[in-house]
Amino acid sequence: MADINTASIVAGRVYLVGAGPGDPELLTLRAVKLLQKADVIVYDHLVSPAVLDFVSPQAERIYAGKRRNEHTMRQEQINALLVKLALQGKQVVRLKGGDPFIFGRGGEELQTLAVHGVAFEVVPGVTAASGVSSYAGIPLTHRDYAQCCMFVTGHLKDGSADLDWPSLVRLNQTVVIYMGLGGLPEICRQLIAHGAAPDLPIAVVQDGSIATQKVVTGTLQDMPEKVLLAKLKSPCLTIIGDVVKLHQELSWYTPVQGASAN
């Protein structure tokens, strides 16, 4: 991490703000107010352009996006940047897709701020599991199908997908996988190998809650091929469990025909 002079602390503050799954109308009122008042916005790849429309024209915008194997800034650089801006007296919004505390590395960033004595506030956002499943018409905990729901990340810190497979194949639960598109064939293979039924329903949702949303449903056995045929690309959310059967019946959101992803 870059050297930071903590002797010059002034009244800067960092606001860790969840931007939700994409639809700007899912922002909290607190998030909108902060976007309109901040001096600097440090935002991620998963923040939709429509959300950035709320940012004050006077605010500085700094892109710190991270995609699979493509990082504009390393996490350590982002941490140092937030501290540096706050120590300059700036009011900084650290804007993250979904909710910053659910696979958003928000806790890591706040730990760095705390070490350097920087004041901060957390503004929760609608996490992708909740927002995307709602727009796909898939209730995660319908009592006829699931008594619990598990959120997991599709790749670990070292880039592997060595998950706790036995816990993911328990009956009467829904599993939501963040950032799992690249490893989907291996994920499906491992779940079947650990006892999941090959015909267990699964949905992969691209661009959930925005105009380019695409929902592909299938089974553990055929989903890898379906994803290839549909030419899905990140960001995607994967939902596994019998609740996926309700998609056709409860799907209510109609994406804009002809809309293209950025």
- Does the annotation mark 44 as catalytic? yes
Which parts of the chain fold into alpha helices (H)?
29-37, 49-52, 75-87, 106-115, 128-135, 165-168, 184-193, 223-230, 247-250
| Residue 206 three-state SS | strand
Would you state the structure tokens that stand for residue 110, as one six-digit string? 């706040």
Would you state the structure tokens that stand for residue 64, as one six-digit string? 């710190």
Tokens 């800034």, residue located? 73
Residue 122 CB-density burial (10 A; 0-12 exposed, 13-18 middle, 19+ buried): middle
Amino acid, single-letter form, for residue 52:
L
Tokens 């025909």, residue located? 257
What is the rounded distance in angstroms from the CA atom of residue 145 to the CA atom of residue 230? Answer: 27
What is the rounded distance in angstroms from the CA atom of residue 22 to the CA atom of residue 99? Answer: 11
The secondary structure of residue 20, as a DSSP letter, is: B
- Are 181 and 204 in contact, with CB atoms under 8 Å apart? yes
Q: Which of 3, 33, 39, 66 is catalytic?
A: 66
Q: Which of 3, 23, 37, 44 is catalytic?
A: 44
The residues assigned a catalytic role are: 44, 66
